[in-house]
Amino acid sequence: MQDLPNYATEPMGNGPDGGQERHDGTDRAWRSYLTGHGVPRDDAIAAAWLTKAAEQGNQIAQAKLASLYEHGRGVSLDLKRAYIWRLLSLDESTPKPSYELQDLTRLMTAEDVAAAERQAAEWRQSHLATHSSEDDPAVLIESSK
């Protein structure tokens, strides 16, 4: 994959909710590559930026990344990862299951759903406790294979 541009050096703009963008520019980057706004559309590069934002706890990025994994756009089709990111994208007060989770559940084994729910809970707990680079959900996913 080509090197990602350094969006951290560009000035921040206002986010869609009127608040500031993420401090490191990941929101601008994934949105640009996902939509082709100002750069050639590239789902693989968008997925890399979405992963960075999702790992920082950005729920919108987590939902978008789940969709990419669910449909194999820019990443390998991976329903387990899609389920993990979709579950993490939900606010803890959101009633479950969402229709997206229901759709994924129909396509997965009960064992994969249980493992994905456990990994999402572990990541969420770890992320809330430490916010460190060791919280990478990809590490939790890889360690379970």
Name the residue ranges covered by the structural domains of the chain.
Answer: 25-143
Domain 25-143 has CATH 1.25.40: yes
CB 69 within 8 A of CB 83: no
pLDDT at position 137: 53
Residues near 37 by Cβ (< 8 Å), separated by ≥ 6?
31
pLDDT at position 96: 62
> pLDDT of 45-91, one tens digit each?
999 999 999 998 899 999 999 999 999 999 999 999 999 999 999 87
* pLDDT band of 19, cuts 50, 70, 90: very low
